[in-house]
Amino acid sequence: MKRRTFFKTAAISGSAIAVAGLASCQTTPTENEKTSSFSDFELNEITVEELQQKMQAGDFTSETICQKYLSRVEQLNPMLKSVIELNPDALEIARNLDEERKGGKIRGPLHGIPVMIKDNIDTGDKMQTTAGSLALEGHVAEEDAFIVKKLREAGAVLLGKTNLSEWANFRSTNSSSGWSGRGGQVRNPYCLDRSPCGSSSGTGAAVAANLCTIGIGTETDGSIVCPSGVNGIVGIKPTLGLWSRNGIIPIAHSQDTAGPMARSVKDAAILLGALAAFDPNDAKTHIEEDEIYSDYTPFLNPDGLNGMRIGIATQMTGFHKDITKLFTQAVEVMKSKGAEIIDEVTFEH
């Protein structure tokens, strides 16, 4: 089932979710009335490719797209607290990219596309880089992180920075997912009183709630994949060294990396390729230049599961009947696509 089809089905059944509205799980008629404007958002579930088509046809400009997202942020972020800061230069950047398009220059699939990035990634602009901490409040990086330079070169519009678990959750063994001193508590857009999961929860919630087209998170251990799963989007933790770590507030050199977060696999693949590059200043990079692709979309094969061996850790299932039902359905889909399922994979530790 496609993400947007799932959302429509869930909305009919009364769930409070990203596309159908952001209210408490226990909705009331008044709250349901309030959410109608959320689901009417013109850019709901729109993809990178669809936006490019609309800009090429003259239906939208990058500036109008960014303005629509900024209005959406203004409307929903007081509830979600997923965006910690907006880029005051975003609309000017978008206008410049529109001028390039008029002149026949299109940098690539991200030209004019609004992106949100996590607040532990340096930007050499007017925005702060604080990892959500009051200890770094007011800190403005001297230059862009390597991946931000690549992002700008690709023609993306840096719309703003997202909230996170403070210090990417490296502040306490008892911390709350998605809380920072500077940004407050990120809320899950499906259900405001549930966890948004993981330190990249601000990016996860922002992408899920259509506050931007695509986003960037960082992961040491689960901080991209967990908020992606819980917020119903696609997250990729790249192989270490595929994306440079230069200019990102670190935790563990052996595990840290930024990665794409998007509403579709294709959008995540587009972002993955756009920022993949060898960085001689990233001392721990172990990807060679000739092993890095600038475009991963050719690998999007609908028959890609055929012949794959997939292990199922059944010891980690069975804790909730509805989740187990969905998990079982997903396994059956994988089987129907030709995957070989290896049951009873166990982890000793």
Q: Which residues pair with 217 in a beta bridge?
A: 259
Q: Could you please report the per-residue DSSP string of 214-282?
A: EEEEEESSSTTHHHHHHTT-EE--PPTTSS--TTB--S-TTT-EEEEEESSHHHHHHHHHHH----TT-
Candidates 165, 180, 200, 223; catalytic one: 223
Question: In the structure, how many helices (H) and strands (E) does the chain have?
Answer: 11, 10
CA distances to 4, 21, 71 from 38, rounded to whole Å, are: 14, 5, 11
Candidates 62, 82, 118, 149; catalytic one: 118
CA distances to 8, 78, 134, 186, 234 from 159, rounded to whole Å, are: 27, 17, 22, 18, 20
Measured CA angle at 198 (ends 197, 200), to 5 deg: 115
DSSP label at residue 206: H
Cβ atoms 264, 233 nearer than 8 A: no
Q: Examine the residue annotation and report whether 199 is marked as an active-site residue of this protein.
A: yes
Q: Cα(115)–Cα(101) distance, rounded to whole angstroms?
A: 18
Candidates 177, 199, 200, 244; catalytic one: 199
Q: Examine the residue annotation and report whether 118 is marked as an active-site residue of this protein.
A: yes
Q: Could you please report the per-residue DSSP string of 122-146?
A: --SSSS---TT-GGGTT---SS--H
Cβ atoms 211, 82 nearer than 8 A: yes
Q: Which residues pair with 219 in a beta bridge?
A: 257
Q: Which residues pair with 320 in a beta bridge?
A: none
DSSP label at residue 121: B
Catalytically annotated residues: 118, 199, 223
